[in-house]
Structure formats: C-alpha cells, structure tokens
Amino acid sequence: MSENKSQAEVLKEQLYLDYKHLAKKMEDDEIKLADQFCEGYKKFLDNAKTEREAVRTVVKMATEKGFIPFEPKTNYQPGTKVFYVNREKAVILAVIGKLPVSEGVHMCAAHIDSPRLDLKPNPLYEDAEFAMFKTHYYGGIKKYQWTAIPLSLHGRIVKKDGGIVDVSIGEDDNDPVFCVTDLLPHLAAEQMKRPLAEAIKGEELNILIGSRPFKDDKGSELVKLNILKMLNDKYGIIEADFLSAELELVPAFKARDLGFDRSLIGAYGHDDRVCAYPAMMAALDCGVPDYTAVTVLTDKEEIGSDGNTGLNSAYLKYFISDLADAQSARLYEVLTKSECLSADVNAGFDPNYPDVSERRNCAYLNKGVVVTKYTGARGKSGTSDASAEYMGRVRRMFDDAGVDWQIGELGKVDAGGGGTVAMYIANMNVDVVDVGVPVLSMHAPFEVVAKLDVYMAYKAFMAFFKSDN
Ligand code: MN
Ligand code: MN
C-alpha cells in the first residue's frame, strides 16, 4: 500500500515518534496469552492484599517452582533459584546467573505495600452503643474514597507470651465486613462546604465493627465488651494485645474484569502488585540467565521506603553482599556494575481529568509498559533521573525483545509529583530507571489497569533478566 502514501506520510513514519494501541499491534495469539497471564494476576491480587500475604503467596509460588531458602555462605551453581524473606514483609528472589556476580546483577524492584487504613495501637472503643476501631491511614489516600465501602481486616497480633494470631476477616463470602460510615446528603450541608481534602478528616476514619451489647443490665460499654469477648473466644486475645499488632483494613472486594470488552482490571492494590506480579513471574520463568537475576519485592514504599523492611533499609545491600562474599567478589564492584528496573506504576492519562497531564509526555493505558526517566516534584527533587546512556540501553533492550513501551512523566510539571524506590537503588551506585504499568485512579480503593500493559510488564522484566549484556 506504500505506493499510495504521500512523501510526507512516508517521512513521518520514518521520523516521528508514534505510540500505537497495543491491540492494533499485537498478534491475536499474544493477546490471548496476555489475557491468560492476567487470570493469574487477578488470583494473586485476591490472595495478596497486604505485604505479609504477598510475601507468603510469593514464597509459596516460588517454592513450587524450585526456589530454596537462601544460605549466605553458599556458592551457588548457575541456575540455582533462591529466596530470602525479610521479617515476613519483604522478599527477594534470585536466580544465579552464568556470569560471576562481579559482572553485576540485574535487579527488578517492586513494592508490595499499598495505601490502606491501619488500626491505631489502642483502637477499640464504644460510642452510642456502637463498637468502633480508630485508624491511622497508611500512604497517600484521598480520605473520602474510603467511606461507605466494604473493608476487610488483615494482619498479625503478637500476644504477650509471643503467641502469634494471624487475622483475615472479610475476604470469604461468608465473612462479615467492616466500614467507615458517611453522612447522609440530607444532613451534609456543612460537610459539603469543606474542601475535598478535608471532606473526611483523619479522625473521622473510624471503623464500625459491631452493635450488640453483652447481655447484662449492669455496667457500661457492653457493646465493646461483647466484641472483646468474641475476640477472646476466637483468638484468645485481650484489649492489651492490640498494642503489639499490625492490623490493616483494605477493600473487601475482589479483582474484576472491567469493561464490556474485559480489556481492563479493576482492583485494590494494583500499585504496585501490577509490577510485583510480573517481576515475580519473570524470576520464576527466566531459566538460567547470564546475569544473576534478582527480584526484590519490598515493603514501606508508600510511606517513603523508611523502616527495616523498606528499600531505604540495608537489607537488599546485605543480600547482594552475601552473594558477593560467596564468590569472593567485592560488594561495591558488584553494585557498580549492576542494573535495575525499578518496577512501579505511573499515572495513565485519564480523559476525565486531562488537565493534570501533559499529553506529549504522559503514559496512556494500552500503549505498553511505561518508562519513567525521573519522578520527583518541584524541579526533579527526590528522584534519581536515569542517564541518557542507561535510557539508551533500556530502549535498545526493549526494542530488540519486542517489548512495547512508552515514555511517561508523572503529570504536569507543577501539578504535584511523587517518588519510587529508584533513588534508593541509585544511591548504591546502580544504574536504575522506573519501568511499570500505567494506572487510573491510583491509590483509590479500586484502581484500573489494562491487561495488555500488565503482560507487557512481564515481557519487559523477562527481557531484562534474559539480556546477555
Ligand atoms: Mn508504587
Ligand atoms: Mn503508590
């Protein structure tokens, strides 16, 4: 048909940057593969709503694929698959490569914590014959989105004697759920005048957990007493046990296909399971790579990566140090030659809110995995900003492997900003760039991604692990 094209059209094809919808480019067979891949992803989302559950799920899946617990002083043969768990809230998968680690390792880093409502240390109280929990939200949320939706309770209680109680209530269809109530519009005249950021205040995010009193005419707070008695009967806990607990409320609904064409997935926690799952699957499926392949699935990204299970902690460095020691290599040498794809989401263009995006430099759903050269705010503050050389390297690698990718900034220059784990990895003198899946309604209880992009993330991480340079 090219004979029908004008000279300008031919030139444009040669010279212009043009991203096409993946469904127009991909073969039907590969689209089918992508949809199948997402069936596994949806199951993962439902089984791994918190960082602890994600670690458990990843270890189970990795063990089934032959991964073994990492032993620090062992010099593993190429192809050996190991995992290391940090405090049950972060996990590293590694596949030992053919090359010595002194040549560097290839890392994918994603996070498995998501915005949510955490219980306060002393959460339980009674008011107007309702039993309630006080919460302190975790990560950047728009508080009004967390009212009047069903919530499930997940986490761990450690009793005084060290006994452990793991809790998951609200996921099974027969389980009860919980919620934050909201004001009826009829009586919300004053509330509706509040600016959106204050529409629901932090101290109003209280969870309704019960309403029937303990049957006794004497005494006060009998609804609270009744709830505590039920918890004591079921878990053997007393009120003081909340002091040593991590309990998290997350949306109780499951991941669902979205749209008549089922091209999208709506779910809680796409940020960042939509990168964690493909990064894990790439580790499981990469065979015997040239470079040692390391997938780190970390905690605490949503609150700034601090804490010993976040990537600002030394645990990843210690792990690589152990790999280096086992081969008599120097840690700094390994790190300096290492490369990383910081696997995190970016905002997709949303036709409902076009004003926050700069259309020439934002990511679009269904146009492939998004490479984000830098994040940050107020003039690239708080980011690592990948070099032209590393961008060139990633560009070549993806193009050669048939990975469809696009460039994306996080919104307009002055619209706000954000960060990822990339800078903590870059601070170890590792080349790193953000690569992930574009998301709509990021940090909302129900986020949206496109299936073809999810599959393209898997293909991207796989290309990285299989790369021979
Ligand atoms: Mn993220
Ligand atoms: Mn986030």
251-254 LR contacts (CB < 8 Å, sep 24+): 251/149, 251/150, 251/151, 251/152, 251/445, 251/446, 252/149, 252/150, 252/151, 252/152, 252/170, 252/171, 252/177, 252/178, 253/149, 253/150, 253/446, 254/42, 254/45, 254/46
Domain assignment of residue 386, yes or no: yes
Residue 126 sits in the same domain as residue 66: no
Ligand nearest to the CA of 298: 1
Ligand 2 center to residue 220 CA distance, Å? 42
Categorise residue 11: left if φ over 0, alpha if ψ from -120 to 50, beta otherwise. alpha
Query: Are residue 26 and residue 138 in the same domain, yes or no?
Result: no
Tell me the per-residue pLDDT of 110-152, one tens digit each, with 9 for 90 and over.
999 999 999 999 999 999 999 999 999 999 999 999 999 999 9
> Quick one: how far is CA 114 from the chain centroid?
6
CA distances from 13 to 16, 399, 403 (A): 6, 17, 19
Confidence of residue 1 (pLDDT cuts 50, 70, 90): low
Q: Residue range 156-172: average pLDDT?
A: 97
Q: Are 393 and 285 members of one domain?
A: yes
Nearest ligand, CA 114? 2
Gyration radius of the chain over CA positions: 24
Domain residue limits at 455: 8-114+268-466
| 213 Cβ contact partners less than 8 Å away, ≥ 6 residues apart | 129, 222, 223, 225, 226
Average pLDDT over residues 297-312: 97
**CB within 5 A of ion ligand 1: which residues?**
271-272, 344
* C-alpha–C-alpha distance, residues 84 and 55, integer Å: 10
pLDDT at 72 over 70: yes
Q: What is the mean pLDDT of residues 75-95?
A: 98
164 and 198 within one domain: yes
pLDDT at residue 93 tops 90:
yes
391: burial class by Cβ within 10 Å (0-12, 13-18, 19+)?
middle
Q: Relative to the alpha carbon of 115, which ligand is closest?
A: 2
Residues 37 and 45: their CA atoms lie apart, in Å, by 13
Determine, yes or no, domain membership for 403.
yes
Residue 279 belongs to domain with CATH number: 3.40.630.10
Residue 262: predicted pLDDT: 98
Which of 251, 276, 310 is at the close of a domain? 251
For ligand 2, the distance from its centroid to the CA atom of residue 39, given in whole angstroms, is 23
Write the CA distances from 446 to 333, 443, 464, integer angstroms.
43, 8, 30
In this structure, the strands spanning 447-450 and 264-267 are antiparallel
**Is residue 401's pLDDT more than 80?**
yes
177 Cα: distance to centroid of ligand 2 (angstroms): 25
Per-residue pLDDT, 218: 85
Q: What is the pLDDT of residues 427-444, one digit of tens each?
A: 999 999 999 999 999 999
- Same domain as 178, residue 146: yes
The CA distance from 315 to 401, in Å, is: 32
**Contact yes or no for 292/94 (Cβ under 8 A):** yes
* Tens-digit pLDDT profile for residues 320-361: 999 999 999 999 999 999 999 999 999 999 999 999 999 999
Question: Which of 189, 221, 251 lies at the terminal end of a domain, its last residue?
Answer: 251
Q: Are residues 343 and 457 in the same domain?
A: yes
344 Cα: distance to centroid of ligand 1 (angstroms): 5
Which of 202, 222, 251 terminates a domain? The answer is 251
Integer angstrom CA distances of residue 146 from 45, 347, 464:
19, 20, 37
Indicate whether 109 and 124 sit together in one domain: no
Residues 106 and 206 in one domain: no
Comparing 9-18, 27-36, 241-250, 274-283, which segment has the lowest mean pLDDT? 9-18
Tell me, what's the pLDDT at 444? 98
Q: Ligand 2 centroid vs 191 CA: distance in angstroms?
A: 28
- Tell me, yes or no, whether 241 lies in a domain: yes
Residue 304 pLDDT greater than 60, yes or no? yes
**Helix, strand counts (H, E) of the chain:** 11, 23
Distance in Å, CA 150 to ligand 2 centroid: 21
Query: Ligand 2 centre and the CA of 1: distance in Å?
Result: 46
Query: What is the CA(301)–ligand 1 centre distance, in A?
Result: 7
Is residue 2 assigned to a domain? no
Write the DSSP symbol of residue 198. G
Q: Kindly give the distance from the C-alpha atom of residue 459 to the centroid of ligand 2, in angstroms, as a whole number.
A: 22
- Report if residue 1 sits inside a domain: no
Q: Which two tokens stand for residue 372?
A: 């984000």
- How far is the C-alpha of 10 from the C-alpha of 26, rounded, in Å? 22
DSSP letter assigned to residue 244 = G
For residue 238, the model assigns a pLDDT of 98
What pTM does this model have?
Answer: 0.97
Angstrom distance (rounded) from CA 403 to CA 53: 30
Gap between the Cα atoms of 80 and 126, Å rounded: 54
Average pLDDT, the chain: 96
Q: What CATH number is attached to the domain comprising 204?
A: 2.30.250.10
Confidence at residue 219, expressed as pLDDT on a 0 to 100 scale:
86
In a domain, 262, yes or no: no
Q: Exposure of 234 by Cβ count < 10 A (0-12 exposed, 13-18 middle, 19+ buried)?
A: exposed
Ligand nearest to the CA of 345: 1
Q: Please check whether residues 199 and 303 belong to one and the same domain.
A: no
Residue 345 Cα, ligand 2 centroid: separation in angstroms? 8
In a domain? residue 263: no
Q: Ligand 1 center to residue 448 CA distance, Å? A: 14
Angle, CA of 168, 174 and 180, to the nearest 5°: 60
Cα 358 to Cα 89, 364, 412, 413, 420, distances in angstroms: 36, 11, 5, 8, 20
Selection from 301, 379, 368 nearest residue 89 by Cα: 301
User: What pLDDT does 216 receive?
Assistant: 82
The number of the ligand nearest the C-alpha atom of 436 reads 1
Q: Is the pLDDT of residue 2 over 80?
A: no
DSSP state of 384: -
Is residue 154 located within the same domain as residue 209? Answer: yes
Of all ligands present, the nearest one to the C-alpha of 302 is 2
pLDDT in tens, 19-52: 999 999 999 999 999 999 999 999 999 999 999 9
**Which amino acid is it at 161?**
D
- How many whole angstroms from 178 Cα to the centroid of ligand 1? 26
How far does the centroid of ligand 2 lie from the alpha carbon of residue 182, in Å? 25
Q: What's the average model confidence in pLDDT over 177-200?
A: 97
Q: Are residues 139 and 228 in the same domain?
A: yes
Does residue 35 sit in the same domain as residue 157? no
> Residue 4 has what pLDDT?
87
| Structural domains in the chain (count) | 2
Q: Is residue 279 part of a domain?
A: yes
